[in-house]
Homo-oligomer: A and B are copies of this chain.
């Protein structure tokens, strides 16, 4: 990305092992993230040409001398944050706050270098069937982030869940809520194709009102008090407000949309009795379990990719997502 709305596909030097803990992966597939649009739209500054993309799945080409758990030829999925797997935060289940974490950038490419390979990558038991690749790719961020929203919001069996945001993360949040046994899954959406996918993923109710009207609609469905668990999957002041007003006292808001301009009023949060937890998904924690769910056919988050393009057409992928013509675009290297 050279500047907002200026995405180019160029030849770059092939990635190489730099540190002995690195691996180099040949990508089977990659994609564009909703968070990439913050840059594309000029909301996050783009000060220099930047290799984009942080979602990846593919085959290990080469590993550094200290890598012992991952081998060339294995099909692997990894988190968008590399982690050492051994620090106190990793041990506590927060690899995306690893004290040695590194962002894995430049994945919209044919190959990528992944640091801290042993702590970051998880191999599938065997080379996967190609039909599973979109869903496995989704575990790298979007599905793990939806899962994290549900975990942070403490979804348990029979929870009434509200999902704010009908983008790919929100839709994956629906999958997570269903898998965790939620009794009711209310999705806030005004877009018919997304409503349809939400219902397919397990949503039980659709609310088309927004803001406080949307929150009031959720409360009306939940004994007048609000949802047990709210998944905030957008990251704007409006969506956070809507999420907080949709939670019952004692309920929980899991917020996974990267906050832009969000301020939470302390007194309001206090009197709401809501719990609030968010952050970059600790994807690595969830990967082994989610890989099993994909390979067992229990979840199919790859369905959020409603457009597939060759990597060369990355610029069109960004345009399609920016204009909401696509929920999420898979790029085929």
A residues apposed to B, CB below 8 Å: 88-89, 92-94, 96-97, 99, 152, 223-225, 235, 237, 240, 248-250, 255, 258-267, 269-280
Contacts and interface: CB of A to CB of B under 8 A. Distances in A.
A248 B87 CA distance: 12
Nearest to A271: B279
Nearest to A264: B264
Given A255-B270, A263-B263, A250 B280 contact: no
A270 B265 contact: no
Given A250-B89, A262-B267, A266-B259, A276 B276 contact: yes
B279 A277 contact: no
Chain B CB within 10 Å — which of A99, A250, A255 has the most? A250
A97 B277 contact: no
B273 A275 contact: no
A109 B281 CA distance: 53
A243 to B, nearest CB: 11
Contacts of A273: 94, 96-97, 277-280
Contact of A94 (B224, B250, B280): B250
A248 B278 contact: no
Nearest to A89: B249
Contacts of A265: 262-263
B279 A276 contact: no
Contacts of A96: 273
B99 A250 contact: no
Contact of A88 (B93, B225, B276, B279): B225
B262 A263 contact: no
13 contacts: A88-B224, A92-B249, A92-B250, A99-B224, A152-B275, A249-B279, A255-B270, A258-B267, A261-B266, A271-B280, A273-B277, A275-B277, A276-B277
A283 to B, nearest CB: 13
A94 B279 contact: no
Nearest to A273: B279
Contacts of A269: 259, 264, 276, 278
B277 A267 contact: no
A6 B280 CA distance: 51
A7 B228 CA distance: 43
Contact of A97 (B249, B263, B264): B249
Contacts of A258: 267, 270
Nearest to A92: B250
A294 B278 CA distance: 37
A99 B225 contact: yes
B274 A277 contact: yes
